[in-house]
Amino acid sequence: SMISVRTRDGELHSFEGRVGASLMENIRGAGFDELLAMCGGCLSCATCHLYVEELPKTATLAEPSIDESELLEGSDYRQENSRLSCQIPFDETLSGIIVRIAPED
């Protein structure tokens, strides 16, 4: 189950994802600590902000919760494809996903 992440320098990196962990946990676990995730996934910091650049054809993502949307409102870099990666559980259906780490607010 692969995850590809584009870091802020524009480089694309792919690694084997761990099912059951969030996208945030996967990205940090793979060593990409520019995704700060300061609150540890408790939906209070928005420093796990990324863009979903490509979703596998058969995959669907649940809509962001109201709390996630409200936190994203606070970012200067919000886009239509913005998500907080701590709120996305990684599973096999997401294998092949490509995300890009958002600029730091």
Binding site for ligand FES (CB under 6 A): 24, 37-39, 41, 43-48, 84, 86
Quote the strand ranges of 12-103, DSSP E: 12-16, 49-54, 82-84, 97-101
Q: In 3D, which of 31, 7, 5 has the Cα closest to residue 94?
A: 5
Q: Rounded to the nearest whole angstrom, what is the least distance from the CB of residue 41 to ligand FES in the complex?
A: 5
CB of 85 to ligand FES, least distance (A): 7
**Coil, helix or strand for 74?**
coil
* Residue of closest CB approach to ligand FES: 86
Give whichever of 33 and 58 is closer to ligand FES, judged by the CB atom.
Answer: 33
**At CA 46, angle to CA 45 and CA 52, rounded to 5?**
160
Q: How far is the CB of 104 from ligand FES (least distance, A)?
A: 13
